[in-house]
Structure formats: C-alpha cells, structure tokens
Amino acid sequence: MELEGKVSLVTGASRGIGRAIALKLASLGSSVAVNYVAIEASNKADADNVVESVIRLGGEAMSIEADIRNGAAVKAMVEQVTDKWGKIDILVNNAGINRDTLLLRMSDDAWDDVINTNLRGAYLCTKFAVRHMMRQEWGRIISISSVVGRVGNAGQSNYAAAKGGIIAFTKSIAREMGSRNITANAVAPGFIVTEMTNKLPPERRESMLAMIPLQRLGQPEDVAELVGFLATERAGYITGQVITIDGGAFP
C-alpha cells in the first residue's frame, strides 16, 4: 500500500486507460477521484462503476463530472476533491479525444476540440491541482501523451500537436516545480487496446501488430502499472521524462 493516505485525481477515468489507472492507484492505497464528462449517457454509469470497483477493493473513491476544457469547471472539481479529502497528491492528466483526418480536410472545430481537450485540459487541471501540491511540498503530475506526440502520424496533426505539447508542457513544469518536491512526467503509449483500437478494421490492426516486436497490442493495465510506479516514492528522482510504452514499436 505504497500510496496509503494519498489522494489522486484521474481525468477521463470512466473507461479504458483512465479506468485502469484509477484502479491501479486505488490498489496501491490511494483515494481516487474519477473524472468524466457527460457527453454520452453511459459515461456517468461507467464512472460510478469504477467507484464501485474501488470500494470493492477496500478503497475510497468518488466520481466527478467536469468538462476539463472549462477553467471554472476544473476549479470546482479540484475544490470538490479537496473539500472531501483535504488535498490532492497525484494528478493524472489522462482525458483525451481524437478527430482524425488529413490536414486539408480538417475543420477548425476538429483542430480546436482536440487541442482544447487534450492540451488545454492538462494545463487547467495542472494549474489548479499543483497549488495544493506546492503547499504540502509533495506531488506527482503524470500526463498521458502518445508515441504520436514523438513521431507524428498522417491524419492526426491535431492529435500529434496536442500530445507533443503535453511533452513540452511536462518538461517545463518539471523545471518549475522540482524545488517543491513535485515531479512531472509524461507517459507515451503506443497501440493500446481501447474502444478506439477495437473499431479499427482488421487489416489496420494487422499492420499495427507487424510494427510491434512483442507482437501484441498493449493493455490499459500495462500503462497503469507504469503510472502507478511513477506515483510512488520509488520514482521520486524521476522528473521531466517521457517514458514510451509501446512494445518496442518506436524505439
């Protein structure tokens, strides 16, 4: 129970990688705030299911609806967490969307939606959460980037820009916050089994597998294990790093 007594906020935690991260942090003893946005009717039910799973593990959790693109909503979410548990120790910026298309076909809305959710959302959540970490002089900021943010990808210029921005943002925050014993790291997953990859045609999945030396897609739990480690004291001397978890696809 390395995180016993700690409080975590995980954005976009109702499903997929976010869900796996929330459950991992809870298994290590942390209380967990499960953020979701009510775009789909199932999101609240999914978030509540994560909370119930944490409680079954013997932990504490709460679900919070908030649009992380909105500063007032993020501020209220952070206040809700600190009102309940008195602090925030660990922030995982996981929430993200994609609106894939080639640049010449991309609408301004498709660009803005991805940048505002994936990058502005991480900025806002970090800005409000880190104030509490500074007061206690301990914190972990872990942001989910992507290998696409490192190497780019055709048809994903908006997504790549946002995920690349997270990497640069993380490195800057690490320099700003190091003196307060706050670490900031980015995790860059490759091809992970999620709802997004499950919708891909079989030939696309096969081409992805051909790129991976380990010959399998990653699981959300693979990412969660790394995030769990970065949240502990064992990772206290790791900051400003981008750690790729992709089965060797992009060395």
Cα–Cα separations (whole angstroms), residue 153 to 85, 158, 215: 41, 10, 21
Give the C-alpha distances (Å, rounded to integers) separating 46 from 13, 81, 186, 237: 9, 19, 25, 35
Coil, strand or helix at 61:
strand
Distance of CA 26 to the CA centre of its chain: 15
Task: Note if 159 is an active site residue.
Answer: yes
Q: How far apart are CA 89 and CA 79, in angstroms?
A: 13
Which residue among the candidates 36, 123, 159, 237 is catalytic per the annotation?
Answer: 159
Distance of CA 20 to the CA centre of its chain: 11
E strands present in 90-227: 90-93, 139-144, 182-189
Contact 191, 216 (CB under 8 A): no
Please answer whether residues 132 and 88 qualify as being in contact, where contact means their C-beta atoms are separated by less than 8 angstroms.
yes
Secondary structure element (H or E) that encloses residue 64, with its range: strand 61-65
CA angle 24, 25, 30 (to 5 degrees): 145
**8 A C-beta contact, residue 144 and residue 96:** yes
- CB of 230 closer than 8 Å to CB of 174: no
Catalytic residues: 159
